[in-house]
Chains A and B, each alone.
Chain A
């Protein structure tokens, strides 16, 4: 306890703990607000207030001599974080989240490292504290590096296709994990060497790289969710090591959230989490599964913007199915304009959104919300699928694998069993797509050869704008 104000109740441990408890109560209350769009903004602000309380409580107990360091750190962080959060485009949200997640993991392993150094290698530290601190260091390091690679891939600094070591990938991953754990166990057992700690951090860093490099673009939602869970768990472990209830609760809730999302994403792709982490899907390896699709070739019918406009104008009910292609083309505003034009003609329009459309959970919803699409027009898969039967036109914009009927009809297909948006139930389908190239999974889409389907080739944004323009002529 500091010499100044030593007697003040502000530094009484019970008082601090009460503030921490208040903080985590506000986190939970804030997250409860996220159950609906009307309460969500307030919820987020409540959670932020909880964070402010937790930070202030901690600052009350800081020795005076270190204020300069704190100010520098916070100023640096704010200088980077605030403009990034203000300016990021909604289409770039997945990489922003990956980056924020990564720095969280980075903070965790750096804190563990400093604790290790400060205690001379956990000398005279209870073993359980050392264990939680070491766990935090390993998981934080994996999360930091993994998130940075995910950021690089999403930002297209690193190629988005899977980069693997081939069949030795799993062995390498396992070996790296074993090295990190072995170092951790040795340190917890009383080894005080800092070199060992650094080897542990390095092995975890390489593991983070080795896990994310082989992940293809379409698997990104799972990986981002998983890394989110990791950072949360590592924060909770830090909380136990530092005996801080706010950290424990906050970290654990994030861990739970990340786990739920990871599981949802994996179910929505009909893939097991270990299989995704083992990598190699989404481009390489499974391409032979596409064989047999070749016989369809030559029966694709292409259409023009004018014809598509007529088809849409005389429909009663249109369902728009957006995918990553819409995000890439920044087409969300153009799509909204088209919708407005159709609604003027009394066409009922809704959006069907697959859980893994895009590059992170809920990615499409954010883009459409940005374009002012009313919340109640956004339909989740379970809600949308029974409605396709009474839909006149399904307009697929930059979505591919999530509409592929092979997932239902072709047991040999690599995506067989994955729940899809059943657009082929509608009376007709228009697909806007840049070319006939298969999607990230490298699988031919039977939908394109369906006699009900017409293809409108082109960039999503310009194709949609052309349709809107043609609609104006009718």
Chain B
């Protein structure tokens, strides 16, 4: 009974999240699709939580510990790398006002 209600609640969350996802993502212009992709990439790095949750349970043997450390490392790469690289990309899109066009020579660093 309790299990069934957890399942149905989670399924409801799943379905609603799917619809929200479609609505929100549909508004992203083609131009920003690469940052969208790396940004959502970073978000699915949330599987890191799975690794943290399972490693926190008691009874993990040595082999489990090894694969969980790898999973946590993978998740961290995904999250940290994903957000950083997206940030780098989006900074480039943050367009300077058009007037800056003439004096771009000096802004050529970074």
Say yes or no for A242: interface residue by CB 8 A criterion: yes
Q: What per-residue 1/0 map shows which CB atoms of A98-128 lie under 8 Å from chain B?
A: 0011011011101101110110000000101
How many residues from B make CB contacts under 8 Å with A?
Answer: 87
Q: Which of A79-114 contact B (CB under 8 A)?
A: 80-82, 84-86, 88, 90, 93, 96-97, 100-101, 103-104, 106-108, 110-111, 113-114
* Residues B94 and A107 in contact, CB atoms below 8 Å apart: no
Give chain B nearest CB distance to A95 CB in angstroms: 12
**Known contacts being A366-B89, A375-B93, is A69 close to B72, with CB within 8 Å?**
yes
Q: Which of B29-87 contact A (CB under 8 A)?
A: 29-61, 63-65, 67-87
Please name the 10 residue pairs, one residue from A and one from B, whose CB atoms are nearest each other, closest first: A77-B76, A73-B72, A256-B21, A362-B33, A81-B81, A361-B33, A362-B34, A85-B84, A253-B21, A252-B17
Which residues of A are found within 8 Å of B35, using beta-carbon distances? 34, 40, 44, 362, 366
Which residues of B are found within 8 Å of A246, using beta-carbon distances? 46, 49
Say yes or no for A258: interface residue by CB 8 A criterion: yes
Chain B contact residues: helix, strand, loop or mixed: helix
Give chain B nearest CB distance to A50 CB in angstroms: 8
Say yes or no for A36: interface residue by CB 8 A criterion: yes
Roughly how many angstroms separate A190 CA and B40 CA in the complex, as a whole number?
35
Q: What per-residue 1/0 map shows which CB atoms of A337-380 lie under 8 Å from chain B?
A: 00010010000000001010000111101100110101110101
Q: Which of A319-351 contact B (CB under 8 A)?
A: 340, 343
* Residues B20 and A253 in contact, CB atoms below 8 Å apart: yes
* Residues A44 and B69 in contact, CB atoms below 8 Å apart: no
Which residues of B are found within 8 Å of A36, using beta-carbon distances? 29, 32
Say yes or no for A432: interface residue by CB 8 A criterion: no
Say yes or no for A436: interface residue by CB 8 A criterion: no
Q: What per-residue 1/0 map shows which CB atoms of A7-41 lie under 8 Å from chain B?
A: 00000000000000000100110111011111011
* Residues A40 and B80 in contact, CB atoms below 8 Å apart: no
Q: Which of A165-212 contact B (CB under 8 A)?
A: none
* Residues B17 and A70 in contact, CB atoms below 8 Å apart: no
**Known contacts being A38-B94, A51-B83, is A111 close to B50, with CB within 8 Å?**
yes
* Residues B44 and A104 in contact, CB atoms below 8 Å apart: yes
Roughly how many angstroms separate A114 CA and B53 CA in the complex, as a whole number?
11
* Residues A69 and B81 in contact, CB atoms below 8 Å apart: no
Which residues of B are found within 8 Å of A118, using beta-carbon distances? 54, 57, 59-60, 64
Which residues of B are found within 8 Å of A27, using beta-carbon distances? 43
**Known contacts being A77-B80, A250-B43, A370-B92, is A35 close to B17, with CB within 8 Å?**
no
Give chain A nearest CB distance to B1 CB in angstroms: 12
Roughly how many angstroms separate A243 CA and B95 CA in the complex, as a whole number?
42
Roughly how many angstroms separate A248 CA and B21 CA in the complex, as a whole number?
12
Say yes or no for A249: interface residue by CB 8 A criterion: yes
12 examples of A-B residue contacts, CB within 8 angstroms:
A31-B40, A37-B95, A40-B35, A47-B43, A69-B65, A84-B85, A104-B47, A248-B17, A252-B14, A362-B35, A362-B36, A374-B96
Which residues of B are found within 8 Å of A6, using beta-carbon distances? none
Q: Which of B47, B70, B89 contacts A73 (CB 8 A)?
A: B70
Which residues of A are found within 8 Å of B45, using beta-carbon distances? 51, 100, 104, 107
Roughly how many angstroms separate A225 CA and B25 CA in the complex, as a whole number?
13
Which residues of B are found within 8 Å of A258, using beta-carbon distances? 40
Roughly how many angstroms separate A355 CA and B22 CA in the complex, as a whole number?
19
* Residues B90 and A41 in contact, CB atoms below 8 Å apart: yes
Q: Which of A428-449 contact B (CB under 8 A)?
A: none
